Amino acid sequence: MIRIIDSHALMVFLEKENGYKKVEQIFVNAIELDAPLLMTTVNYGEVYYIILRECGQEKLDEIEGIIRNLPIKIVDVDISIAREAAMLKATKRMSYADCFAAALTKIRKGELLTGDQEFKTLEKEIKISWLSEE
């Protein structure tokens, strides 16, 4: 099963918030199976700006080093992902960045790891692994 991680789940892990242990275990499993999680460049950019805005460049540099060592493969957004994200944004009440995580999940027929309740509207369209289900 292809797994996709959104910015919410990565921030939960980085900030050791509720759900952290579930994300950590998924990372361990990904390493053991040599099956990295996928994340779009848009969702990576969301994590990047949040950390830069809230913590500054020095902390961002530290966090980027941590992310590079996680089993996450950053996927460039191509036209098919952009179109699917745009369709979702046009029809759902979701942030634009979240639409990219959902679009990648839908296109790759994967499972999205998140705790962001905005994705509730897509439960019948994509498979979601909720952080709250520990």
Give me the architecture of the 3-130 domain, per CATH. Answer: 3-Layer(aba) Sandwich (3.40)
Is residue 132 over pLDDT 90? no
Is residue 134 over pLDDT 80? no
Is residue 112 over pLDDT 60? yes
pLDDT of residue 133: 55
Q: Report yes or no on whether pTM surpasses 0.75.
A: yes
pLDDT of residue 17: 94
30-78 pLDDT tens trace: 999 999 999 999 999 999 999 999 999 999 999 999 999 999 999 999 9
Helices then strands, each counted (H, E), the chain: 6, 5
pLDDT of residue 74: 98
Domain extents for the chain? 3-130
